[in-house]
Structures are given as C-alpha cells and as structure tokens.
Amino acid sequence: MPAPPCASCGKARAALRRPRSGQALCGACFCTAFEAEVLRTVLAGRLLPPGAVVAVGASGGKDSTVLAHVLRALAPRLGLTLHLVAVDEGIGGYRDAALASVRRQAARWELPLTIVAYADLFGGWTMDAVARSTAGSGRSRSCCTFCGVLRRRALEEGARRVGATHIVTGHNADDMAETVLMNFLRGDAARLARGGGLGSRGEGGALPRCRPLQLASQKEVVLYAHFRRLDYFSEECVYAPEAFRGHARDLLKRLEAARPSVVLDLVHSAERLALAPAARPPRPGACSRCGALASRALCQACALLDGLNRGRPRLAIGKGRRGLDEEGAQGAPGDAEGGVEGAQGASGDAERDVEGAQGDTEGGVEGAQGAPGDAEGAPSSCDCGASGVRAACDCE
C-alpha cells in the first residue's frame, strides 16, 4: 500500500505521522513545521532578543544536538550568535564519548566550542570521585543531585567565558512533565512554584536561561534528528539507574500509552499550579563565597562542595533543621538548581531512560538546603587543614 501524500506540500510521499496530530507529512515538511514551532515558541515567549549571544548547552545527546541545529537554522532570522558549551563531568566511559560527538558537531557546523571540566572548576572533584565519596552512605548515592547542581554552575561559568547573554538548554516537553511528577512525589513545593514557565529571566547577575524545545515532544525531537540525519550520542549515564526520576519517567511512559496528550496536559497543569505564598521560595541574594545567586548565605554548589571537601558528602542534602517550604529552593539558576529544570543543564539528554544526569532527581526532599552549619561565620579552617566555616570540622 503506497504511502499517502504529504498533507502539507501534497507532492512528496508522506514519510511519517506526527505523534501529536496524526498528520502525515514528508520529511522536509515535518522539519520545517518543527522549526516553525520552535520559532513560534521563542517569539511568543520573547525568549531570545535579537543580537543575543547564546550559549547552547551541548552534551552530544539528541536534545542538545537538535536544539543546536534548529537554532543554527533560525539564527539569521532571529539575529543570534551561537556558541556551544559542553561540560565534562568526569564520568569515565561515558562523557568522553559524548564529548567526541560534540566536537564532531562543532566542526561540522563551524560553531565555536568551549569545554568546561568539573575537575578544573571544582577543585579536582569529578563525578566519579563524588560517586566514590558518596558510595558509603548506605542510602542511594544521590550522584544526580551533585551532578545537576555542579553542572549548572559549570554551564554558567562556560557561558561567561564566551561572553554569552543567554543560556539555552534542550529540555523537551517530556522532561518538563517528568519534573512536575517528580516534584509532586517528592513534595517539593518550592520547585513547583518556580517551574512551569519557559525558563528563568535571570535575577541578580545570573544569565537568563530558557528552553526553546519545551513544547516539543520527545518523539518529535527524535524524528527530527532522524530526518536531518544528525549524529548524536545516545547511551545512558553510568549512574542513571539509581535516579528517582526513573520512577516518574516510567509512569509517564505508561500514561502516554493510555492517553497520548498527557505530556502536554501535564505541562499545562504545571503552568497553572497555584501554590500558597508561604511555599514560594525566598528572594535570592548572593553567595558569600563565590558571589553567585543564592537564596541563603551559600549557594548550593558551594554548599555541596563544602560537604564533599569535609568528608561529609550528604551535608547539603537532606532535610536540614527546617521544613520543606522555607527551605525553598535555591533561588535561581546561578544557584544551579533552576526550578522545574531539574538541573539538566547541558548534558543528560543523550540517554533517555533513567537519565541520572538529570540533577535534582533526588532534589525534592533532599532539595539542597544549604548546609545548616555553614550559614554563619567567616571562612576559617580546622586544624586538619580542611577549609570550612566552622572552627573544627568533624575530622575527629
């Protein structure tokens, strides 16, 4: 049975059906339609003003690859300058291959590429080292929390190095839907209150970030990559199976089988959530150590690193002494835990499944409350030489 003609141009044979509307389209028309929709999102949401220098978080995975490709196609029309920023978390056997893919893309598209590595930025802490350090805690490792927070910082740093004015990441509609579910299951009211928009405007020095692919479904992203013959890296992060986000993803897949529109319905619900004022996050200030955006004295990245350095990796994770609501969140992007974004940052889109690299998978309850003890006092150091804000760390 021959394929029906394309519903749009009527000339070529249809090569696919769009998952959302069931229309039969040929490859070229579909790609055009996809790009048009991304353009519409950017314009209607006023996400990227003309003349913006845009840092694209590139992980080598399908979402960031498609994002970079679409933005490159739209750049002349929108008046943008693009830079690729890739983050090297130091996960052996996974990130190296992904980075190779990013390098190939940068070469092919002739876009400038900057790579920032955790090892350089965060005093030698690679994700593998973090994983080893947190391995003995008995409960799940919460590598993803660290990875997400630190990746946000790294992305911000990389963007600054190239002089960018905006950061874009490749989160798609499925990511947003999973994040909503996850935040509900973890009871993270603060993130729920923050999320739902198209990105954050960037307060107090943090760069504005947005997600142009937010309303595109994952299936369409994959289809687009297929028809444009894009080459990307598609394996799962080594630490992915432990992530809580996996549960949300599993539920989403089943819901989608029952009702295909559920992804957008969830995004719509997230946009319209009304939370009580008490649950909203406090106004952000600046981190006392690094100056980045923070809702308490220390930004989340500094707090986490502190915990690692002092041999107490779970210091900044966990309930703390205060309740969930006031913990609220870390204010804003600079803090590396942007709202509903779940700290995906640059990478992580490559492997769909139980991602892991999605940052705040454990976010919710463990939400990253700044280490309680670190909030006050000037930095000092313990006798053993570890730096910290308390006179003595728990080396004894």
Partner 1 sequence: MVWQVLEGLSRDSAKRLRFVPGIVYVDEGAACGRSPEDRAKTLSEARLVLEAVGFPHHEVALEEVFSLPPSVLRRPAQGPAETQAQGDYKAAVDTFLQQQLVLGAQDSLPPAPGEGQLHHPQGLPGPQSWTAAQTQALCRLFESVKTLTAREELLQTLRTHLILHVARAHGYSKVMTGESCTRLAIRLLTNLALGRGAFLAWDTGFCDERHGDVVVVRPMREHTLKEVAFYNRLFAVPSVFTPAIDTKAPEKASIHRLVEAFLLRLQAQFPSTVSTVYRTSEKLTKAPREGCASGPRCLLCMCTLDIDAADSATAFGAQSCSHLSPMQLPPLPAEAGTPPTPCCPPGPGRAQGADERQDAQAHFLEQLCYGCRVNMKELASLDPLPPYIQAEAQLRSQRAWVRREIQEFLIEDGGDGEDGQS
Measured over the CA atoms of residue 245, residue 246, residue 251 and residue 252, the dihedral's sign is positive
Smallest separation (angstroms) from partner 1 to the CB of 60: 26
Q: Which is nearer to partner 1, 235 or 325 (CB)?
A: 325
Residue 138: burial class (beta carbons within 10 Å; 0-12, 13-18, 19+)? exposed
Smallest separation (angstroms) from partner 1 to the CB of 228: 14
Cα–Cα separations (whole angstroms), residue 96 to 68, 82, 101? 20, 23, 9
Smallest separation (angstroms) from partner 1 to the CB of 265: 3
Smallest separation (angstroms) from partner 1 to the CB of 169: 16
Of 160, 278, 220, which is closest to residue 36 (Cα–Cα)? Answer: 220
Smallest separation (angstroms) from partner 1 to the CB of 255: 6
Distance CA 171, CA 269 (A): 17
Residues 6+ away with beta carbon under 8 Å from 46: none
Q: Which is nearer to partner 1, 2 or 22 (CB)?
A: 22
Q: Which is nearer to partner 1, 88 or 174 (CB)?
A: 174
Smallest separation (angstroms) from partner 1 to the CB of 216: 8
Q: Which is nearer to partner 1, 54 or 150 (CB)?
A: 54
Give backbone dihedrals phi and psi of 203, rounded to 5 degrees, phi first.
-105, 155
Please report how the helices 218-227 and 27-44 are oriented relative to each other, as an axis angle in degrees rounded to 10: 130
Q: Which is nearer to partner 1, 275 or 395 (CB)?
A: 275
Binding residues for partner 1, rule: CB under 8 A, are 7-8, 18, 20-21, 23, 25, 29, 32-33, 35-37, 39-41, 43-45, 73-74, 76-77, 79, 173, 180-181, 184-187, 189, 192, 198, 215, 247, 250-251, 254-255, 257-259, 261-262, 264-279, 325, 365
Smallest separation (angstroms) from partner 1 to the CB of 316: 21
Go through 168-190 and write b for each residue having 16 or more CB atoms within 10 A of its CB, e for each that does not.
bbbbbbbbbbbbbbbbbebebbb
Q: Which is nearer to partner 1, 242 or 325 (CB)?
A: 325
Asked whether 216 and 200 are in contact (CB, 8 A), the reply is no
Q: Which is nearer to partner 1, 12 or 251 (CB)?
A: 251
